[in-house]
A and B are shown apart, each in its own frame.
Chain A
Amino acid sequence: MSASVDTATATPVPTRRSRGETLRLYGRRLLRQPIATVGTVVFIIFLLMALFGPWIAPYGFEEQSIPDRLQSPTLQHPFGTDNFGRDVFSRIVVGARGIFLLGGTGTILAVMMGTTVGLISGYFGGLLDEILMRLLDVLLSIPSLLLALVLLGTVGPSLLNLILVVAVLYIPMIARVVRSVVLDLKTKEFVEAARIRGERDSYVLFREILPNALPPLLVEASMRFSYSIFLVASLGFLGLGVQPPSPDWGLQINEARNYLESAPWMLAFPALAISLLVVGTNLMSDGLRRVLQPGREDS
């Protein structure tokens, strides 16, 4: 039968659990989803690469060795070498840093600004809300890659600009999520209880509402991060992202196109890295959603 597990009937009330147990429960719930666990592990591996890349990488990412150019994978060069004899593995490891720096910082910025907008818009409502939401609608009415290209095309691709563009692109989505959570929470009785007590808006926003908006925010942020990887890589591929000789994955794929036949590993490994990280983050985000917001289907 297709009906979902009716928790009300499956587990009788009351469930009494200590807080530590609750955390362990989250952990167990996550581990019970092997796919999400795999995703999380993949994410963590890439995160470690990003943090410790230069120490992990056997060679410098810019270290050229002309005699060793275009070598297929060997023990010395597990992912082969590129047209300058640079170690593809090292470039991928160090490239993770760029992805996390761009996508991660961009996402964090977007989360910060989007959360602010969403909180203000949802909590105060009225004309301000109307204006903010219209503006976000406009941003949303332009496909994100298009907007990124137009913005980067005009301001030029620099690291800072890329981060800002990622942030600008994802503010609307984050703000919307936060706003809808706030709208929901705002009518919750505990928030009304705070207003009845005469709490300041800042207290209500940051102590009553924000902590409860964190789980969906976390899920959304991880989702956005996975999209930002995609975006940054696409921009790199189109030549409007990180500039060479940075070990950007999208850029590597772009460079690898000329070697599609002679050195397919130059394409395969960065592509694999992008896919693994995006899929891993997606899976993790999926798992997070199930752990933090049980009962809600993926949307």
Chain B
Amino acid sequence: MLSFIVRRLGFMVLTLILASLLIFAATQILPGDVATMVLGRFATEQALDNFRGEMGLNRSLVVQYGDWLFSFVQGDWGESLSTRADVRDLVLERLRNSAMLALVAFVMYVPLGIVLGVVAAIRRNSWVDHVISVGSLAFIGLPEFVTGLLLIAVFALRLDWFPSSSAIPPDAAFFDRHTLERLVLPALTISLVSLAYIARMTRSSTVEVLGMDYVRTAYLKGLSRSRVIGRHVLRNALLPTVTVVAIGIGWLIGGLIVTESLFGFPGIGRLLLFGIQRRDLPLIQATTMVIVVIFTMANLLADILYGYLNPRIRFR
């Protein structure tokens, strides 16, 4: 088990390094001269040179990359080009908000998705299954910006149950009515896609487990249906779901970008979009790296959890 974790950690570090290279390359090499971009086309050659010297742009890319990575790891994420703010403070603050949103969404969709998936699998090919399966396919097909707009139209504008804008103040406390009610609609928006995704995955893994010999054995041992499902099926069927939930974090982040800008929620997704629209390189780099780190960590966690829950890996 330990060596398993160590190996996964090793892979994670490798992945992160490669990902950072990719991000660095995408943001630094492709768009051309940063100095021109920042100072404008009419800047004098002298000014450009000064800027490059100041920003260390005249060094080789390898050195620049090393330098960037080194300072990034040390927590120096640079200064935002468009706002002149300290990128780290900015990103971490937004990250906290996104985490709140993600948490609310998580609490909404993970249990519900699992329950729906299991129910659909148990009642396979019944109308319940069809409704859940087709419903989940339909929700997978609904982009967040459509669901979000529909939710706003119905729950904020028509029914006026929840605010349409989720602009929470930077220091908003989580357990606060004001904050929580602003999280409901965006969380719901993100949840629908992930909910559908989890339900589908849970269904298919449960269906697979239901077809296993040991389930047949369990039934023929005379166990009641609930005991078979609860004790013999779920234990194995939910194992892949652990991974799915982690991979779903990728969806969640994709959803955050759209949803946050839709609801005006000050999270990391909207910050990223802001950075991209302004070609704010340090901001893009830092935001992207943070998201990638979270994403890979979630995967690592899922791997470890999976390994821990799965005796076939735990006792090798």
| Chain A interface (Cβ < 8 Å from any Cβ of B) | 1-4, 35, 134-135, 137-139, 141-146, 149-155, 226, 230, 233-234, 237-240, 250, 253-254, 257, 260-261, 264, 267, 271, 274-279, 282-283, 286, 297-299
Q: Is the CB of A237 within 8 A of B145?
A: yes
**A residues near B142, Cβ cutoff 8 Å:** 271, 274-275, 278
**B residues near A137, Cβ cutoff 8 Å:** 11, 15, 18
Supposing A150-B284, A274-B143, A297-B204 touch, asked if A260 and B149 sit within 8 A by C-beta, the answer is: yes
- Indicate if B22 sits at the interface (CB-CB under 8 A): yes
Q: Is the CB of A150 within 8 A of B276?
A: yes
**A residues near B18, Cβ cutoff 8 Å:** 134-135, 137-138
From B143, B146, B204, B258, A299 is in contact (CB under 8 Å) with: B204
Q: Is the CB of A150 within 8 A of B258?
A: no
- Indicate if B108 sits at the interface (CB-CB under 8 A): no
Q: Give a binary string over B122-140; 1 marks a CB under 8 Å from any A CB, 0 the rest.
A: 1010000010001001101
Closest A residue to B275 by CB, please name it: A153
Closest B residue to A230 by CB, please name it: B143
**B residues near A283, Cβ cutoff 8 Å:** 134, 137
- Indicate if B216 sits at the interface (CB-CB under 8 A): yes
- Indicate if B272 sits at the interface (CB-CB under 8 A): yes
A-B pairs with lowest CB-CB distance, top 10: A278-B141, A153-B276, A145-B254, A279-B141, A138-B18, A143-B250, A2-B210, A271-B146, A143-B253, A297-B204
Indicate the member of A149, A150, A237, A278 with the most B CB atoms within 10 Å. A150
Closest A residue to B25 by CB, please name it: A154
* CA of A86 to CA of B206, assembled, Å: 49
Supposing A153-B279, A253-B149 touch, asked if A146 and B288 sit within 8 A by C-beta, the answer is: yes
* CA of A139 to CA of B288, assembled, Å: 12
What 7 additional pairs, Cβ within 8 angstroms, besides A3-B215, A275-B138, A299-B201?
Answer: A137-B18, A154-B31, A234-B143, A260-B153, A274-B141, A274-B142, A279-B140
Interface of B is mostly: helix
From A3, A141, A253, A299, B145 is in contact (CB under 8 Å) with: A253
Q: Is the CB of B15 within 8 A of A274?
A: no
In B6-30, which residues have CB < 8 Å from any A CB? Answer: 11, 14-16, 18-19, 22-23, 26-27, 30
8 contacts between A and B (CB under 8 A): A3-B216, A138-B22, A142-B292, A142-B295, A153-B276, A239-B277, A278-B140, A279-B141
Question: Min CB distance, A264 to chain B, in Å?
Answer: 8
* CA of A184 to CA of B22, assembled, Å: 31
**A residues near B204, Cβ cutoff 8 Å:** 297-299
Q: Is the CB of B146 within 8 A of A275?
A: yes
**A residues near B273, Cβ cutoff 8 Å:** 149, 238
Q: Is the CB of B134 within 8 A of A35?
A: yes
Q: Is the CB of A150 within 8 A of B211?
A: no
From A4, A150, A254, B27 is in contact (CB under 8 Å) with: A150
